[in-house]
Chains A and B, each alone.
Chain A
Amino acid sequence: MDRIPILKMGPFLLVTIQVDMYDRLALNLENDLIIMVQKNGSKGVLIDISAVSIVDSFMGRIIGNIATMSRIMDAETIVVGMQPAVAITLVELGLPLSGVHTALNVEKGMALLQKKLADDLTEDSESEAEMDDNDQSE
C-alpha cells in the first residue's frame, strides 16, 4: 500500500505531500504521523502541501485531526505552502483549519516551529525557576 514518507529532522517531523491524495493515503498518513510523534517524542510536525491542488472537506478534516492529535501528544502542527486557490476554497467551504498553524513556506514553517520550541523551553525553565524561587523563599 502507498505511504507518504515522513522525515525526522531533530525534534521535528517533516512531511511533503508530492502525490495526489486519496482517502486511504490520507488516513495512513494520519496514523503514521501520530505513531512517529509518539516514537520519537517529536515536538513539531511540518506538513508541506505546496503540491496539493485541492483540499476538500475530507482532507481538511484529516489535517485538522493531525493537528489536534499532535497537540494532545505535545507536538505542534504547521501546514506550509498552501496554494492561494486552496486557501480561498477552504474559506468558502467554511473550513478554517482551526488549531492548525500555517506558514508560507518550509523555511518559515521551520523557523516558527523552532521559535515555538524555544518558547516552550523558556516557559519551562521560567516555571522551574519560579518553582526554585518559591523553594528558596520558603
Chain B
Amino acid sequence: MMEEVQKPIIEVSLDTELDLVIAYKKAMQLAEISGLNFTEQTKFATAVSEISRNALVHVGKGDIKFYITKDGQSFFIEAIVHDSGPGIKDLGSLLKKLELQTGGQRTGLVNCKRLSDKFEMDSSEEEGTCVRIGRRLPGSHPPINHMILSGWRKHFSQLAPISPYDELKRQNILLLKTLEELRVKKTQAQEQLEEIQVLHLELENNYHKNKQLSDDYARQNELLLKRNEELDEFAHIVSHDLKSPLNNLKGTLKLMEMGQIDQEKTVVVFKGQLQKMENLIQSVLAYSRAGHEKLEKTTVDVGELLKEMENNIVLPEGFTLEIERNFPVLFTEKIFLYQIFSNLLSNALKYNDKVEGRIIVGYEQNETGDFCFFVEDNGPGIPLKKREKVFKIFTVLENTKKADSTGIGLAIVKKIITEKGGKIWIEEAKAPGEGSRFCFTWPAELVQ
C-alpha cells in the first residue's frame, strides 16, 4: 500500500523513444541514491525501460512517475507508467497467458514482472493503462522521511540534463507552461478590456444623453426667455393701446357731465370707441392663436391657391397683380398659406401710394433647398431701420397710418411662419423704382 498520495520525486513524459533513455537514466539515479546496489539499479532501470517502451509502442504517449513508498516495514522504489490509450480489454487472461509463456520472445510486461518485487496493472477504457512496478530497498538504505524525499525532489529538479534532448525537453516544458500562463493572462486582459470597453461605451452614451438634455434645456430656456420678453412687450403694448380708447371714453364722459357735448354725439363717440376696443381685443386673440391651431395637412397647389385669391380680390383701378408660374405643389396646411398670402397682398394694396400700383407674387428655391415665396409691390418701401420693427404687434409706420390699420397683420404672419420653422424678411423691390419685397420661407414636403 502506498503510504499516502504524495508528489512524485521524478516525472518524465514519454513522447519519443529518446524519452526512454531519460526514463531509465532517472530510474538509475533514483535507485542509486535510494541505496540499491549497481545490479539492482540496472534491473530496476531495465524494468522501467521495458514498461516505458510498452506504453510508447502500444499507445505512443504516456508518462512515468517515480516514488519512494513504504509497505509494511520495507521501503520500495516505485515507477508508475500511465498511458491514456484505449486500455486492455481482458487484462486477467492476458496476464495469465503471459505467465505461461516461457522462453523465446517475451513481452515487456513479463520481463518487467520478472525484474520487479512488486507488479500491479490496471486498465480501463476510460483511464487507459497503468502499470506499477516496485523494487524493495535493502535494509541498509539511507534514512528516508518526508523532508529527505522533498530534498530529493528538489535535487532531481535541479540536476544537470542527461542529454541535449533532455535539456531541450525541459526548456520546452517550461516554455509551454509559460505560454499557457501567458494565454490565461491574455484572456484575462482581453476580458478586462472588453469590460472596460462596455463601461466606456455606457459612459459615452450617458454623456451624450446628458449633453442632449442640457442642450435641450438650454434651448428651452432661451425660448422661454424670448417668449417672456415678447410677452412683456406684448402686455405693455396691449395695455397702452387699450388705454387710448378708454381715455377717449373718459374724456367724452367728462364733456357730457360738463354739458359741453350732447347725448347723441356721446353715443356716436362711445360706439366708435367701443368698436375700436372690441377690434383690438379680437386682434389680440387672433394673434395669440396664430400658428397654434392643429390643422390637417393636405396637398396644396400654391399656384391654384393664389389664383383663387386673385379672383376674390377687388383691385383698385390702375392696379395690376402678377402671379408668376411654376409654383410648387406642397403637402402642408392650406389655411396658413392662405392667411399669409392674403395678409401680404392686402398690405401691398392698402399701403400702395402709386396710381399704377403693381404687385408681383413669385417663388424661388433658395440655395438650401427651402421653398422661398415673395410678394413684391411698388409702394413707398420700408426704410432699412424699420424692417424688423414692422413685424412687431401694433406697429404702424408713421407715413402709412390709415384708419383701418391695427398693426397686427404682419405680427400674425410672422408668428405663423416662425411657429412652422420658416423665416420672413423684407428686401428692396427687384423692379426699378420704390417698393419692397416681402420674402418668406415655408418648410414643407414637395408633392411630385
Contacts and interface: CB of A to CB of B under 8 A. Distances in A.
Contacts of B25: 20
Contacts of A53: 28, 42, 45
Interface string B40-52: 0111011001100
Given A53-B28, A61-B105, A88 B43 contact: yes
Nearest to A64: B105
B53 A85 contact: no
B39 A85 contact: yes
A4 interface: no
A92 B21 contact: no
Contact of A94 (B39, B42, B114): B114
A114 B120 CA distance: 49
Nearest to B56: A23
B45 A24 contact: no
Contacts of A84: 39
A88 B111 contact: no
Contacts of B38: 85
B280 interface: no
A86 interface: yes
Interface of B, helix, strand, loop or mixed by DSSP: helix
Report the contact-size class of chain A (Cβ under 8 Å from the partner).
20 to 34
A111 B114 CA distance: 36
Contacts of B196: none
B106 interface: yes
B17 interface: yes
The 7 closest A-B pairs by CB, nearest first: A85-B42, A85-B39, A56-B49, A23-B17, A20-B21, A22-B17, A54-B46
Interface of A: 20-24, 53-58, 61, 83-86, 88-89, 92-94
28 contacts: A20-B162, A21-B21, A22-B20, A23-B17, A23-B53, A53-B42, A54-B42, A54-B45, A56-B24, A56-B46, A56-B50, A56-B111, A57-B50, A57-B105, A57-B106, A57-B108, A61-B105, A85-B39, A85-B42, A86-B42, A88-B39, A89-B39, A89-B42, A93-B106, A93-B115, A94-B102, A94-B103, A94-B114
Given A54-B24, A89-B115, A94-B106, 9 more contacts: A21-B21, A22-B20, A53-B42, A56-B24, A56-B108, A85-B43, A86-B42, A92-B115, A94-B103
